[in-house]
Amino acid sequence: MTHLIVAGTDTGIGKTVFSAGLVGALNGTYWKPVQSGIEGETDSQIVQRLSGRPALPEGYIFDLPASPHLSAEAEGATIDPSTLTLPDCDGPVVIEGAGGLMVPLNRESLYLDLFARWQVPVVLCARTQLGTINHTLMSLQALRQAGCQPVGVAFIGEAEPDVEQTIVDFGQVTRLGRLPALPSLTPDTLRQAFKDTIDMHPIHEALAR
């Protein structure tokens, strides 16, 4: 049984698509602990469609597209992090967070607190747009201060070699590659793009420890 967290520096950066590619590459299973916002497909449904791999039921699922604590409160609920335990599943499990690391689960706990309790490898997804240096370096710092060791950074978007190298140098982190925006996003195009652009060796090494 192996687990891997896919976290992001922000919301809407493409970590669900990245998670789908990773689940497919690992021949694994996907889990979204908290789904906050249902607009068409859930993240689990997107990953299943793009990867052809199974997804476990969400721990919590809410209609409102907002921070998990606000989505829960809108329905008169409260997220109890103690109920979110690592799933017992054959093979690798890719766990996708919601938004950035400092997103609240309730009025007392952040997603980062959950990651710190789990103590499993973290892949940090970062967009290549303006502002990513600050967001990514702060996210790396937060992970390490919480006792979480990032496997590396996976960039998403158009190529920005100088920006990406700046993050690698200042963050002292492994560059896992860059997944480009795909004009046609299908299971086949994602599978090929992931194979061509993402270095899986550090991820396999982290899962083998």
Reported pTM: 0.95
At position 161, the amino acid (one-letter code) is: P
Please state, in angstroms and rounded to a whole number, the distance separating the CA atoms of residues 187 and 15.
Answer: 15
Contact residues for 199 (Cβ-Cβ < 8 A; gap 6+): 152, 175, 176, 177
Q: Catalogue the active-site residues.
A: 32
Please state, in angstroms and rounded to a whole number, the distance separating the CA atoms of residues 11 and 128.
Answer: 13
The end-to-end CA distance of the chain, in Å, is 12
> Looking at residue 1, what is its pLDDT?
59
Q: Where are the alpha helices (DSSP H) in 40-186?
A: 43-51, 68-74, 111-118, 132-145, 161-171
Q: Which parts of the chain have pLDDT scores under 50?
A: none
pLDDT digits (tens, 9 = 90+) for 39-83: 789 999 999 999 999 999 999 999 999 999 999 999 999 999 999
Domains along the chain with CATH numbers: 8-208 (3.40.50.300)
